[in-house]
Amino acid sequence: MLLTTQLLGVFLRVLSNLVLNELFQPFLILKLFCLINALLIPLMTTNQPNLLLKVPIGLLQIPAIAKNKIKTGSRKIKLSLVIPTYNERENIPTIVHKLTQLLNDVIPNAYELIVVDDNSPDLTWEVAQKIKPEYPQLQVMLREKERGLSTAVIRGWQIAGGEILGVIDADLQHPPETILKLLAEMERGADLAVASRHIEEGGVSEWNIIRRLLSRGAQVLGLIILPGVVGRVSDPMSGYFMVRREVLAGKTLNPKGYKILIEVLGRGNIRCLGEVGYVFQERLEGKSKVAWKQYIEYLQHLLTLRLAKWPVGRFTRFGIVGFSGVFVDIAIFYLLRKTIGLGLTRSAVLSAEVGIINNFLWNDLWTFRDISRSQRGWPKRVKRLLKFNLICLTALIFNLLIVNLLFNLFGVNEYLAKLIAIATVTLWNFWINMKLSWRVTQVDK
C-alpha cells in the first residue's frame, strides 16, 4: 500500500517535472536521479540486516492493524514473540536458536522474534544484532530512553506484525518447547494462553521456601485487591504467554514493573483462556533483575488497575445522594421534634427512615438508573427498597462498631473515628448495594 502511494507520488512528481522541464531542460536528468534515489534509499534501508527497529514513542497502545507490513512485505505473520532483555548476552544466542528451530517446524516464515533490549551494559543488543544474518526472523530494538520489563514488551508488540503477540524470558527459565503448546492453545481459539507453574505438569525447580512464599504471597495479595483479574488464571505472575492482538488493540496500557500479564488480564477483552503447564527452570547464565522495587511496583500496579475498574461516576453520584440524605434526615427530625413534639427516639428512627427512602429514590432514579430502567415494575422496586433498607441497617451497626473500636480500643480521637467510620461505611454501602440491590445480572433481557 505504502509502496503504491510512494510510486504514485513519484509518478506525479516526474510528470510535474516533465512539465517544468519545458522551462528548465538541463535539470531534468538531475531531478529524475534525485527522485529515484529518494524512493530507493528507504526501501534499501528497511532491508538492511543490521538496522535496529525504531522505538515507538507516546502512549503504550497496540494498533489494531500491524504497522510493520512494509518490512515483511507479503509475508503474513502469525506470531510475534518479544524477548525482553537486560544483560543476557550469554543467553540470547541459545534462546534465539532454540525458538527458531521449534517455530521453523510449525510456522516457518510466519513468525518473528523481537528482542527488546534496554541498552544493557553487557551489550546484549549487539550480540543479537550480530547473529541476525543467521536468523532472518530476528529483529532487535534498542531502547535508550525507557527502562522496564513490561514497557519493553509493549514497545515490542507495538511494532509487531503478528495477529498473536507473545512474550518469553531470554534467560531460558521459560522452556522454549512450551511455545508450541501455547501456540496450539491459541490455534484452538484462546484469546490468551498462559504458561502456568501451578497446574498439572507445572512447577518450579529449586526454589527455597522464602521465594515460594513471596511468589504465593504476591498472588494472594492480587486475589484480595483484584479478584476478578488475578483469579482468572492459576499463575497470574507468569511472564510467558500469548495474547491475540485484537483483545488489546486500542487500549491504553499502563503497566508498572514486571507483571505484564496482570495488565493484559486487567485491560484486555479476554473471553477465552487457555493454560499449559511448565516448569520454571533455574538460571544458568546471568542474574535475575528482581529486587524489592519490583514488589512495590507490583502493589502500585494492582492499585492502579483497581482504581481504573472502580465505577467512579456511580460512586460520586452515590456520595452526593448520601449527602442529601443527611439534610433530609435532619430536617425531618427537626419537624417531628419541634412541630409535632414526637419523642427523641421515635423522631430519630422516623427521620432516618425518610432519609433512607430519599436516598433510595435518588439512587434508583439517578445513580443506578441504567439498571433500574431494565428492572421495571413496583414489585421489583419494592424489593430493591427492602434490600437497600437492610443494607443501611447493617451499615449503621458497622458504623457504631467502628467508632467504638477506634475510640475505646485504639484511643483515636472521637471525631476522627466518626469520619473513618463514615468513609468505611459509605464504601461498604455502595459496594454491597451495587452487588445486591442493583445487581446487573438481574437485568431483564
- Binding residues (CB under 6 A) for ligand GDP: these are 84-86, 88, 116-118, 147-149, 152, 169-171, 173, 288-290
Q: Based on CB atoms, which residue is closest to ligand GDP, 87 or 137?
A: 87
How far is 114 from 139, CA to CA, in rounded Å?
5
- CB nearer to ligand GDP: pick between 77 and 149: 149
Shortest distance in whole angstroms from residue 13 CB to ligand GDP: 42
Return the C-alpha torsion angle 310, 316, 321, 322, nearest 10: 70
Put residue 358 in one of left, alpha, beta given phi > 0 → left and psi -120 to 50 → alpha: alpha
Nearer to ligand GDP, 13 or 283 (CB): 283
- Which partner in ligand GDP, Mg ion, none is near 289 (CB below 5 to 8 A by kind)? ligand GDP
191 binds, among ligand GDP, Mg ion, none (CB under 5 to 8 A by kind): none
Among 171, 185, 191, 275, binds Mg ion (CB under 5 A): 171
Minimal distance in Å, beta carbon 214 to ligand GDP? Answer: 11
The span from the first CA to the last CA of the chain, in angstroms, equals 45
Count of C-beta atoms within a 10 Å radius of residue 271: 10
Looking at the Cβ atoms of 129 and 173, the one nearer to Mg ion is 173
Residues 151 and 8: their CA atoms lie apart, in Å, by: 38
Give 22's DSSP letter.
T
Q: How far is the CB of 170 from ligand GDP (least distance, A)?
A: 4
Q: What is the DSSP string of 165-191?
A: EEE--TTS-S-TTHHHHHHHHHHTT-S
Q: How far is CA 63 from the centre of its chain?
A: 15
Q: How far is the CB of 169 from ligand GDP (least distance, A)?
A: 4
Nearer to Mg ion, 280 or 368 (CB): 280
Residue closer to ligand GDP by CB (options 109, 215) is 215
**Residue 297 binding: pick among Mg ion, ligand GDP, none (C-beta 5-8 Å cut-off by kind):** none
In this structure, is the dihedral angle defined by the CA atoms of residues 268, 78, 197 and 118, taken in order, positive or negative?
A: negative
Q: Kindly indicate which of the ranges 173-181, 235-243, 261-269, 308-316 contains the residues binding Mg ion, using the contact rule CB under 5 A.
A: 173-181
Residue 86 near which of Mg ion, ligand GDP, none (CB within 5-8 Å, type-dependent): ligand GDP
- Closest chain position to ligand GDP (CB): 288
β-pair type (192-196, 138-142): unpaired
Minimum Å gap between C-beta 233 and ligand GDP is 17
Give the nearest distance from C-beta 364 to ligand GDP in angstroms.
Answer: 49
How many whole angstroms separate alpha carbon 387 and alpha carbon 407?
Answer: 30
Q: Is 173 in the site for Mg ion (CB under 5 A)?
A: yes
Nearer to ligand GDP, 230 or 328 (CB): 230
Q: How far is the CB of 116 from ligand GDP (least distance, A)?
A: 5
Residues 43, 46, 48: CA angle, nearest 5 degrees? 110
Partner from ligand GDP, Mg ion, none binding residue 321, C-beta < 5-8 Å depending on class: none
Binding flag, residue 88, Mg ion (CB under 5 A): no
Q: How far is CA 386 from CA 53, 191, 327, 389, 415, in A?
A: 62, 41, 22, 5, 31
Residue (95 or 226) nearer to Mg ion, CB:
95
Residue 170 or 229: which CB sits closer to ligand GDP? Answer: 170
Q: 151-170: which residues touch Mg ion (CB under 5 A)?
A: 169
Q: Is 87 in the site for Mg ion (CB under 5 A)?
A: no
Residue 72 near residue 159 (C-beta atoms within 8 A): no
Helix, strand, coil % over all residues of the chain, rounded to 5: 60, 10, 30
> Which whole-number Å values give the CA distances from 42 to 2, 11, 83, in the listed order?
12, 17, 27
Considering the complex, what minimum distance in angstroms separates the CB of residue 173 from Mg ion? 4
Q: How far is the CB of 431 from ligand GDP (least distance, A)?
A: 34
Q: Which residues pair with 203 in a beta bridge?
A: 279
Kindly list the residues in this chain that would bind Mg ion in the complex (CB under 5 A). 169, 171, 173
